């Protein structure tokens, strides 16, 4: 009995199979990318809360908030360390002094934390009479609504620039002359994650620790 010839895939059939495999692979990669993005967001959110507690702890121990680090060279001994003074007028945005605070160096995407502080509350002992500086730090949303009242004006602002590694919205204008920052839900147009310390939050901790009467 003669053997029947074995029929292989034609080029058309092989192309269809490869296309199906590619589509299936792409459909799996999209959820994985979204999961990684959410993981980075969660890591940054938790790290920001740790940073908030570290800043409050620094104020309890030393009586004031740390100044921003302005050193970008990891080989420099002052990298990640708060300078002793930042009372220039106006204050500038810098990097979070992560070594001084004992917190993580970067956010979930490996970008350094950005940090701005009201100069009247940094580098010198805080008292009940310490008042806001002319820096006038404030937080807005994308619609321009103020998220902080006059008495709850930020004393310190910390944020992650997110996946795109670039400040978005008002955060992109971080010149000394601008004390306006933006806080919004993460979206395709805005992926910064931001927290701040208000005077009531700071004073409550200082009073509880016996730093203030």
- Is 4 inside any structural domain? no
Report how far residue 139's alpha carbon sits from residue 193's, in angstroms, rounded to the nearest whole number: 12
- Range(s) of the domain holding residue 180: 30-208
User: Is residue 12 in a domain?
Assistant: no
Instruction: Check residues 140 and 175 and name the one with the higher pLDDT.
Output: 140
Q: What is the mean pLDDT of the chain?
A: 84
The tokens for 166 are 């670039």
Q: Which segments within the chain are labelled E, that is strand? A: 94-95, 114-117, 138-140, 154-160, 180-182, 193-198
Mean pLDDT lowest among 3-7, 146-150, 197-201? 3-7
184, part of any domain: yes
- pTM comes to 0.80
Do the domain assignments include residue 10? no
Is pLDDT of 151 > 70? yes
190 half-sphere exposure, CB direction, 13 A CA radius: 16
Asked whether residue 190 is assigned to any structural domain, the reply reads yes
Contact 120, 88 (CB under 8 A): no
What would the two tokens of residue 194 be?
């931001």
Domain count, the chain: 1
Q: What is the pLDDT of residues 2-58, one digit of tens each?
A: 555 545 556 666 677 677 766 666 555 556 667 788 788 889 899 999 999 999 999
Cβ atoms of 9 and 17 closer than 8 Å: yes
Decide if 61 is inside a domain. Answer: yes
């Amino acid at each position: 009995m003669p053997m029947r010839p074995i029929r292989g895939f034609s080029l058309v059939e092989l192309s269809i199979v490869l296309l199906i495999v590619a589509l299936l692979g792409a459909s799996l990669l999209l959820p994985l990318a979204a999961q990684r993005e959410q993981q980075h967001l969660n890591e940054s959110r938790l790290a920001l809360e740790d940073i908030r507690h570290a800043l409050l702890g620094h104020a309890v121990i030393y009586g004031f908030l740390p100044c921003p680090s302005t050193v970008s060279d990891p080989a420099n001994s002052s990298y990640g360390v708060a300078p002793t003074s930042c009372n220039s007028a106006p204050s500038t945005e810098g990097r979070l002094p992560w070594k001084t605070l004992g917190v993580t160096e970067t956010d979930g995407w490996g970008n350094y934390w950005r940090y701005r502080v009201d100069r009247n509350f940094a580098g010198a002992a805080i008292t009940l009479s310490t008042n806001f500086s002319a820096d006038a730090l404030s937080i807005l949303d994308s619609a321009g609504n103020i998220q902080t009242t006059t008495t709850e004006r930020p004393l310190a602002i910390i944020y992650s620039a997110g996946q795109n590694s670039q400040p978005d919205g008002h955060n992109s204008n971080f010149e000394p002359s601008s004390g306006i920052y933006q806080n919004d839900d993460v979206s395709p147009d805005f992926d910064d994650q931001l927290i701040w310390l208000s005077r009531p939050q700071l004073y409550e901790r200082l009073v509880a620790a016996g730093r203030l009467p």
